[in-house]
Structure 1
Amino acid sequence: MMIAAASALPPLFVLLALMLVGVVLMSLLLLRLQQSLLAGYFLCGVIIANSGILGALGGANMQEGISQMSEFGVMLLMFTLGLEFSLSDLKYVHRLALFGGGWQMGSCALVAGGVALACGFSGTAAVLVAVALTMSSTAVSLKTFQDLGQESSPGARMALAVAIFQDLFIILFFLVLPLLLPEPGHHEDVSMLSRMGSLAWRGGLFVVVAGVCARWLIPGLLHAVTRTRNRELFTLSVVGCCVGLAFIGGMLQLGLALGAFVAGLAVSESIYKPRIHADVMPIKDLFLTIFFVSVGLMVDVAAALRHWQVLLLLTASLMLIKTTLITVIARRLGLVHRQALMAGIGLSSAGEFSLVLLQKAGPAGLWSADIQQILIGSAALSMGLLPALMRGGEPLGIRLEKLGWGRRKMKLPESDILRQRIKGLSEHAIIVGHGPVGEKLNKSLLDQGIKTLVIDLNAETVRSLKRQGQPVLFADAAHEETWELSRLREARLVAFTFPDATVTADGIALVRHQREDIPILARARFASDVERLKRLGATAVVNDELEASRAIVDQAIVMQGEE
């Protein structure tokens, strides 16, 4: 009776209810096991799809609901990715993005495409497989770097740079994707020239519409809504812009996903971005949940189990090959061995765009249903394994270094650091990082008549300090040559002013290798990092948590005294 009653309910509502209840239960279990929630979302979808409950509740209607929910999940995910994308970030990591991202995608695509062709795939299928497996997961890797407290590390910057390049590439690839996949309603005898012409005018029209919306309509709408001071209306307007541009992209047969991504881009550089983040981004986890569960709903466990050896082999090969290639590329770009390995592992999985492409390619008949299940299963499994592999990346790097990996002297990339020589400095303080803390420390030491040398990896900061006449190096504290150029042997103090304990630890080890007597001042975000940095040789460590608690206690006492 209950099943019959449930069958009368709207399929999308039934599906959404199953998804959300299942996600809550699965998340509670995975939090106890300290595992990735994103992998749990996918696993929840797999369980729902293969438990038989969907067939009992809705049959064919439920399968249509799965397809619709999957498309909706993809659209929402693409909007959040577009919203987080920022061309302003590119100027800080443009070298890593252009060279690192280009080499990463080129080398990985050649390997994946070559293997696909050798396995009998057609040229079109090989291209789609190559692009899908070349993409990496931005959501999982950057979130794991944050969980590890390494979001500011060189490895994380490398991952961010490559992610930016991949986003730029996939925008262009989505535009030409209709040429590779058969278009609905078109006959096979339609010439490629006609298809290119059709795509050109549809793409051109969409670019014009999106440009007008991004330049005038969306900012004007948000400005009018902001003046009402109605928070709910602002959030509704932002989501409405996403759905509206996605609708236009769908009407022009360019895909809902592309329209939603462009909608995110349209508001990502506006003056309203901070408020959009505050109001809209908290529901990003819901968007991710719907996407990953919807992907899990499309996995046929029986088909995957029939080919489990191939699935595991593909996953292992994908992650091993990408880790190796990206680690080598990162080393060539100047990252130290351990950080290069972390970048390689962080970019080793398939990504969200991989799943989007595979979902779009499946109905085109480029490969069999079993191969589709193997590809989707492998991509999802690699994303699920990524957090655990990244947690083991740093211990593995330390172990390899102890075995002799990376003992050769490193060569820095060609940049200002190779041309700039700090001459004549002695009895100076070396300040690593020129954020708010480093800036105040630098000013205070200069006011005391102490000469300073700043080391920073922000190109804009370095250029600004150069214009002010401040001795500065555009360099990485984890490079041995950085400390040679800084005239460490003539210095009187070294201060690490950023809270990234991983980079600070590498820098302290290099400083102590050259100078055992110099005072080293360090900063740590968490109390657990304080003793580790002191063991490595830090003279004093300022703990952000401890200092913040002291300030809050002092202010609370002052406020109580004023009553």
Structure 2
Amino acid sequence: MAVEASSSDLTQVVALLAAGVIAVPIFRRLGLGSILGYLAAGVIIGPFGVGIFYDPAAILHVAELGVVMFLFIIGLEMQPTRLWSMRKQIFGLGVAQVGVCAALLTGVGLLTGFPATQSFIAGAGFVLTSTAVVMQILEERGELTTPGGQRIISILLLEDLAIVPLLALVAFLAPAVHEDIGWANRLLSVGIGIGAILGLVVAGRYLLNPFFRILADSHAREVMTAAALLVVLGSALTMELSGLSMAMGAFLAGVLLSESTFRHQLEADIEPFRGVLLGLFFLAVGMSLDLPIVAANWRMVAFYVVAYMLVKGIGIYLVARMMRAPHQYALERAVIMAQGGEFAFVLYSSALAVGIIDGEANAILTAIIILSMILTPLAMACLRFFMPAPEQSLDGVDIAEDLSGSVLVIGFGRFGQIASQPLLLRGIDVTIIDNDVEMIQAAANFGFKIYYGDGTRLDILHTAGAGRARAVLICVDKGETAVRIAEHMRNEFPLVPVLARAYDRGIAMDLIQVGVEYQIRETFESALVFGQSTLETLGVDRDEAADIIEDVRERDAARLDAQLAGGLQAGRGYMKGNIPKGNAPVPAPLTTPRHPGRAMDQETATALSKAVGAEEGRDK
């Protein structure tokens, strides 16, 4: 019997791991995110799926530690200095959006006949936007570092902070559902909670750093890991025993250690546990999705998904417009952030545990959140279809028209800025064009005159003076764009010398085939200088190190010629580190020309050939 029980437990562990390993990559490939993958996997293996698990509550209780550790890591990122620098956006825009949306969503519940406490908990949970979904959208759109993206991240940060007082509020609201608890007990509960918070703050400020310093002197990695878990779980237990949430204790511990010298070590120790347990939490949430209840209440679920997303979107749009955001940016923010998020599961689970909502309400609310997350990518696709692409404001920016510099520089990013400096210092008349308005405006603050223009357009090349220039420098960061500009130059202005920046080896070969006079891979020379410095650091004589680097440079040039002669299509096969095959000429001799007495065996030569040839091919 013991063997059968052990086998059954192992089967469930294997099923949990297999469900996550299979579902998450599939959902990420579909663009739906890992969280939805975990949720779907939980539904499949749960009691309303194939039935491998019949008690998701037991798993959920353990998996809540993943949320606890997640909030600890969030706390580690909340240094007081960072919070202060973002205070206006976090505590201005963020508080305004959370407050307005919470009020509107609570109103939806009240208008449809639900009690005030349940309406508030349901609405407050939906206010907490999915950080995973939104961050994925911003990353795919390349907007993480844009001003608009930073505003959204600030709001997400405030919402991450908001879960802590909301969880505390759930604990304080819980006695309201029991009529036999008097005001004295209520005040005692509040006092115990405040005392626990103050005690944790004092302990964190005066004890944690000396504690970790003593442990660090022991040089035992496993002890530091155990200590990190002790701090997180101990803080969580303290808050739970005082009537507050475990997550709140972990968050406070993280904040108190956010400026500690051990912060990065703590984060590295906790991260593996956090990732596994948080995935387990979402699996358990998926198992808890009561499909029969959802099916029996599908009209209610459909109504609240639409109502909550629409009302929250309206609230976000109004706040954005009040903060003077343009119409289109406000609309995009409303669509991106209109869904509920993963922290709503935590809030609803806490509300269920203390009796504010029942199991049926929790199942319905959970389904509403999940469906809103699924609908967000579809809503973004609809927005892109119906809304025109945003036009850049060219206020204060000069268009490239009738220019006539001796040298035309196309692209003024980190590469173009450095490449143009020698020309400017020599007094050469340089014309610079770029199509990034924000960069043009920023460069103007440092005295650079940049004209707005897209180098891939032939008419812009004409008006920018490409035909009258003594040389054209292609300094754009995208390799395909550089090749397109080079093709325009060769076809329209064949007598003008073209010098181009290549992103990698494949783009370099494309540029050579187009016929540019000079090309350079953007990381090649800097990597050689880095390698030479490494040799010198290891004790190699400076002259010998320089000779070795020159050998590498010559071998690379010979190998590039061999690839071109071998007819590899733009070097694409070489991007994986393959060397030329068949009748292609030998890339380089097996003895170093600078050191003829130093023979190189075939194995070493092949390894060097692959190492140098694969350079930048894997550099993402």
Distance 1:91 1:352 in 2: 26
TM-score, scaled to structure 2: 0.65
Q: SS at 2:202's partner residue?
A: helix
Deviation at 1:17, TM superposition (A): 3.5
- For the residue of structure 2 that corresponds to 1:268, the secondary structure is coil
Correspondence 1:305-454 to 2 at 5 A: 305-336=295-326, 339-386=329-376, 389=379, 392=381, 396-397=383-384, 400-401=387-388
* Contact 1:142-1:159 within 8 A present in 2 as well: no
CA displacement at 1:172 relative to structure 2: 2.7
Residue pairs, 1:190-201, within 5 angstroms:
190-192=181-183, 194-199=185-190, 201=191
Secondary structure class of the residue paired with 1:401:
coil
**AA at the equivalent of 1:250:** E
1:299 shift after superposition: 0.9
* Equivalent in 114, 124, 127 of residue 121 of structure 1: 114
Match of 1:227 in 2: 217
User: For 1:150, which of 143, 149, 164 is the aligned residue?
Assistant: 143
TM norm structure 1: 0.71
> Which stretches in structure 1 are left out of the alignment for 5+ residues?
412-416, 418-426, 451-476, 496-503
1:437 to 1:71, Cα distance in 2 relative to 1, 3 A: same
| Larger RCO (alpha carbons 8 Å, 6+ apart) | 1
Q: Give 3-state SS (helix, strand or coil) of 2:143's partner.
A: coil
Paired with 1:111 and 1:127, the residues of 2 have a C-alpha distance of: 10
Match of 2:42 in 1: 45
1:344-381 superposed Cα distances (whole Å, 9 cap, x missing partner): 33322212221111111124444453332111111123
Cα distance in structure 2, aligned partners of 1:360 and 1:175: 10
User: Which sections of structure 2, spanning at least 5 residues, go unmatched?
Assistant: 397-404, 406-410, 429-435, 467-471, 488-497, 506-520, 532-547, 553-591, 599-620
Query: Partners in 2 of 1:266 and 1:325 — Cα distance?
Result: 34
Q: CA deviation at 1:163?
A: 1.7
The corresponding residue for 1:136 is 129
Kept after mapping to 2: 8 A contact 1:42/1:295? yes
Q: Name the residue aligned to 2:154.
A: 161
Aligned to 1:493: 450
| Matching residue's letter, 2:101 | C
Partner residue in 2 for 1:468: none
The separation in 2 between residues aligned to 1:446 and 1:204, in whole angstroms, is 64
% same residue: 23
**Pairwise CA distance, 1:112:** 0.5
Please name the residue that 1:297 is paired with. Answer: 287
Whether contact under 8 Å (2:335, 2:376) holds in the other structure is yes
Whole-Å Cα distance in 2 between the matches of residues 170 and 398 of structure 1?
34
Cα deviation digits, residues 295-346 of structure 1 (max 9, x gap): 1121111111222333233223333333343244334435455544443333
Alpha-carbon deviation of 1:445? 9.9
CA deviation after TM superposition for structure 1 residue 113, in Å = 0.6
Secondary structure of 1:360's counterpart equals helix
Shift of 1:116: 0.4
- Among 53, 57, 62, the alignment partner of 1:69 is 62
Distance 2:237 2:302 in 1: 38
- Structure-2 change in CA distance of 1:309 and 1:491 (3 Å): same
Matched to 2:20, the amino acid is V
Q: Distance in 1 between matches of 2:203 and 2:212?
A: 11
Query: 2:485, 2:152 → 1: CA distance?
Result: 25
Contact in 1 for aligned 2:129/2:156 (Cα 8 Å):
yes
In the aligned structure 2, how far is the partner of 1:27 from the partner of 1:203?
Answer: 39
- Return the offset for 1:138: 1.9
In structure 2, the partner of 1:30 is 27
Aligned CA distance change for structure 1 residues 135 and 187 (closer, same or farther; 3 Å) = closer
Q: Is contact 2:72–2:250 with CA below 8 Å preserved after alignment?
A: yes
Give the structure 1 partner of residue 90 of structure 2: 97
Q: 1:272 aligns with which of 245, 259, 262?
A: 262
Q: How many residues align?
A: 491
Structure 1 range deviating more: 246-255 or 163-172: 163-172
CA distance in 2, matches of 1:205, 1:533: 67
- Contact 2:443-2:449 at 8 Å conserved across structures: no
Deviation at 1:144, TM superposition (A): 3.6
Matches of 2:290 and 2:364 in 1, distance apart? 10
CA displacement, residues 210-262 of structure 1 (integer Å, 9 cap, x when unaligned): 21232122222222233333333333322221111111111112122212222
Separation of aligned partners in 1, 2:266 and 2:76: 9
Q: Label 1:179 to 1:553 Cα distance change in 2 as closer, same or farther (>3 A).
A: closer
1:439 Cα offset (Å): 10
Task: Please report how far the alpha carbon of residue 196 of structure 1 lies from its aligned counterpart in structure 2 after TM superposition.
Answer: 2.9
Match of 1:286, SS state, is helix
